[in-house]
Amino acid sequence: MTVPVRRIFLLLIVGLLLPVCVLAQSGGPESVFRSQLIELHSKAVALLDRVEKSGTRGVPRQQTLEEIFALVRLVHRLQEEAGATDLQFMQRGESSSKTLLLVQQASISVDGMLSVLSYYIESDDRAFLGFARENNALVWSVRKVM
């Protein structure tokens, strides 16, 4: 990773961990995961908006792809941890958490959004940009239910 991308990655991690520490003291795990999802989705939307406004030639291609990759890694981790936490609930005899299931579903859609956004950057094919918008709309739908 280049130095600016490392900085972005570290800022993303710190930005995600600080709210988690505060929320962990006041709410259950569902609120922590919901907060992380909202934060990651907001970053993905900002990236989508930036790429959409400036076009594929207006963004630094390699840096933007590395930023997408860093976000995808965080989204995958969120999805896995939400699933593991839900599994722990069920192993203790509790019901599956609707919120954690929704976080997992929204994470899949954020991942899809970021993936097709990278395809748009690589190919300059606007169909991928449309797919990114559709995935974004799905995330918003899931967030409304949460």
pLDDT of residue 73: 97
Number of domains in the chain: 1
Looking at residue 23, its pLDDT comes to 42
Tens-place pLDDT, residues 14-28: 666 555 444 444 468
CA distance 95 to 130: 37
Domain range for 72 is 3-145
**For 135-146, what is the mean pLDDT?**
96
- Residue 55 is predicted with a pLDDT of 81
pLDDT of residue 2: 59
Cα Rg, the chain, nearest whole Å: 16
Q: Are 103 and 34 in contact (CB under 8 A)?
A: yes
Q: Is the pLDDT of residue 118 over 70?
A: yes
Banded pLDDT at 46 (limits 50, 70, 90): very high
Burial 15-42 (b: 16+ CB within 10 A, else e): ebeeebeebeeeeebbebbbbbbbbbbe
Over range 116-131, report the average pLDDT: 95
pLDDT exceeds 60 at position 135: yes
Average pLDDT, the chain: 88
